Amino acid sequence: MIEKEYLPNAQISVPAAYRSLVEQYYRYADGNGELHVNPWGARPSLRQFRHFLLKAYDIETRLRGRQGNSDFEREHRKRLGTIMADCQGVGHYYEIDATIADIYLVSSEDVTKIIGKPTLYLIIDRKSRLIVGFYFGLENASWNGAMQAILSIAEDKRALCGRYGVPYAPEDWPAHQVFPSEFLADRGDMISHASSNVAEGLHVTVTNLPSKRPDWKPLVECGFRLLHNSIQPIAPAYDPPSNATRRRGKHYEKDACLTLREFGHLLLNTIIAYNHREMLGYDMDTRELLDNVRPCPIALWNHGIQSRAGLLTRYEESTVRFALLRKKKAIVTDKGIEFEGCCYSFPEAIAQKWFETARKRRFSVNVSYDTRLADSIYVHPLDGKREPYVATLTERSAKYKGMSFDEIAYYECLRAVLRIDAEHSRLQNSIDLSTTTRPVMNAARERLKSAPKVSRSARRADIKEVREEERKLERKSLAKIEGGKRSEAPAPHPEPQNASPTTPTPTAASGSLAERIEAARARMRS
């Protein structure tokens, strides 16, 4: 009963498992067939049941069975080791993760409009606890946000500080352009195929940790809490997580007044202060103690980088940006380089006659692109030995300028649906046309069959004179000007199949030209 009900289900208490045991194994039937619980002494007591449970199943077995392996490892496992056991120094492990910042922001165009809470990414060096990269914005927790956070490691810090009105000092950013040996991430945005670009382009290992194990990257998890604790007493419209589960919680969003740029000013200053703040509980090694190193992230980084010099790699921002872009195949056609519903071109392709060649035989090229904006892409050269080309939208695809590839995919889907509907409408239109004109066409064919048989050359004889006569008849019918009052509407013309002409229609081969003209005049008089 313990292994069947108590261990697999955390909702089953010890008394409930005991009752189930007694109900199943310790009851008897009287003469009337009614079941009764065995008397005291003929069944185990609750105390005996609990004693057997605690003696036969140790605490780890009980906790693993009732709460699962992940919860046990996170909440109840022994902690004899340390996360620094396999860390070789600064720049070895960078922990990366994302969360939703607990603050409401407003639109920069209209402060009365709330845009919600921003996404916050942090990248923290495990050895020194230094925040080396970050992202705050409106992108969801996805590869786009992680890419921006990784790119911030190599981003121009002077321009970054100037963008948010923060004073720039080089000593505040000691890890500028320094990339680690390994990124530690969870099984979220960094497990996508796009994250392979980090390993291939920057030669950095990306380790995706098991799910439900935040204790394997505890520094970045605690970093979120530390930053929130710093901005909570400062920022208006700060909404603590506890307010979500509070009965009749407060509406902090009514105080929202910070724009995204003002939030960036606050967060950048908070990150700089965090990197300079001394950590009271940091476990410094003997070398750091002898060198009298201050236990703050920047001092620990500057001290540790001396022993790691030559082992870490620096990359320029342009190199990092290109390496993080997604890669895919595109098709070169006579209309341009077709990719994701757009057409692109660049001067080198025109000079090398790519599009003239594609009219005879299409070929594919590798491209790198950012999903957030479709205005331009990188096109890799065919030989793969030169720098990539920057291709821009052609006039054919200018309507998609300023859009993301996701938006373009939506419009292309609408276009495909419209084409399916149009094909159906075209088919219906063709069938209606055939149905409407078929009686007249059949009547004309029957009239030809009833006419005298003549040769093909005889039918084409005197075509010029007959055409001229028909033109005169057409002019008299269309160019006629009525005198006096407006004439009444003409009577409807009878259907061709019911018409019974009194005068036989002369053919091109019957009679002379004068006779055919006279016959035509007779038809007009009639």
Residue 22 lies in a domain: yes
pLDDT score of 522: 65
The CA distances from residue 203 to 97, 123, 151, 180, in Å, are: 20, 18, 15, 9
Which secondary structure element, helix H or strand E, spans residue 313, and what is its range? strand 313-314
Domain boundary among 260, 290, 319: 319
Largest CA distance in the chain: 136
Total domain count for the chain? Answer: 3
pLDDT at 399: 93
List, in order, residues 6 or more apart from 299 with CB less than 8 Å away. 293
| Alpha carbons 335 and 359: distance in angstroms, whole number | 9
Backbone angles phi, psi at 133, to 5 degrees: -150, 155
Which string of DSSP letters, residue by residue, matches 84-136? TSS--STTSEEEEEEEE-SB-EE-SS-TTSEEEPPEEEEEEETTT--EEEEEE
- At 395, the amino acid letter reads E
- Whether residues 338 and 398 share a domain: the answer is yes
Same domain, 314 and 329: no
Of the three residues 319, 338, 368, the one that is the final residue of a domain is 319
The CA–CA distances, whole Å, from 481 to 473, 488, 522, 525 equal 15, 13, 22, 18
Using the 8-state DSSP alphabet, how is residue 490 labeled? Answer: P
User: Six-digit token pair at 176?
Assistant: 């500028």
Q: 424 lies in a domain?
A: no
- 342 in the same domain as 289: no
Within this chain, do residues 200 and 301 fall inside the same structural domain, yes or no? yes
Task: Work out the angle at residue 269's Cα, subtended by the Cα atoms of residues 264 and 274, and round it to the nearest 5 degrees.
Answer: 125
Last residue of a domain, one of 319, 337, 353: 319
Are the CB atoms for 115 and 343 separated by under 8 Å?
no
As a whole number of angstroms, the distance between CA 422 and CA 262 comes to: 50
According to the model, what pLDDT value does residue 193 have? 76
Q: What is the C-alpha to C-alpha distance for residues 71 and 211, in angstroms, rounded to an integer?
A: 11
Pick out the chain residues at pLDDT < 50: 498-510
Nearest Cα residue to 321 out of 162, 152, 192: 152
The amino acid that residue 43 corresponds to is R
Say if residue 109 is in the same domain as residue 166: yes
Q: Do residues 257 and 298 share a domain?
A: yes
Distance between CA atoms of 1 and 24, rounded to whole angstroms? 9
Whether this model's pTM surpasses 0.75: no
* Within a domain: 125: yes
Contacts of 30 (CB under 8 A, 6+ apart): 36
308-to-89, 90, 311, 325, 501 alpha-carbon distances in Å: 7, 7, 5, 29, 108
Is residue 163 domain-shared with residue 181, that is, in the same domain?
yes
Question: What single-letter amino acid sits at 209?
Answer: L
Residues 141 and 226 in one domain: yes
DSSP string, 177-222: TEE-SEEEE-SSGGGSGGGHHHHHHH--EEEEPPTT-GGGSHHHHH
Contact, 185 vs 199, CB < 8 A? no
Do 68 and 155 reside in the same domain of the chain?
A: no
Domain that holds residue 390: 325-407
CA distance 350 to 356: 9
Residues 292, 334, single domain; the answer is no
Residue 80 lies in a domain: no
The Cα–Cα gap between 275 and 277 comes to 6
pLDDT number for residue 508:
43
What's residue 461's pLDDT? 81
- Is 162 part of any domain? yes
Per-residue model confidence (pLDDT) at position 514: 61
Q: What's the confidence (pLDDT) of residue 459?
A: 80
Q: Who contacts 268 (Cβ-Cβ below 8 Å, separation ≥6)?
A: 160, 161, 164, 166
Q: Which helix (H) or strand (E) holds 332?
A: strand 326-333
Q: What is the predicted pLDDT for the residue at 127?
A: 92
CB neighbours of 177 closer than 8 A, spacing ≥ 6?
Answer: 153, 154, 314, 315, 316, 317
Q: Which DSSP letter does residue 58 get?
A: -
Instruction: Assess whether 187 and 237 both reside in one domain.
Output: yes
At 242, list the tokens.
């506890």
Residues 226 and 251 in one domain: yes
Residue 238 DSSP one-character state: B
Q: How far is CA 144 from the centre of its chain?
A: 9
The closest alpha carbon to 133, from 235, 204, 74, belongs to 204
Distance CA 253, CA 236 (A): 9
Collapsed DSSP state (helix, strand, coil) of residue 309: coil
> What pLDDT digit, counting tens, does each position of 47-91 carry?
999 999 999 999 999 898 988 888 888 888 888 878 888 888 899
Residue 234 in any domain: the answer is yes
Query: What's the full length of the chain, in residues?
Result: 526
- Going by C-alpha positions, the residue among 9, 224, 2 that lies closest to residue 117 is 224
- What distance in Å separates the CA atoms of residue 367 and residue 345, rounded to the nearest whole number? 12
State which H helix or E strand residue 37 sits in. Answer: strand 35-37
Query: From CA 343, how far away is CA 276, in angstroms rounded?
Result: 50
Looking at residue 86, what is its pLDDT?
84
For 427, which DSSP code?
A: H
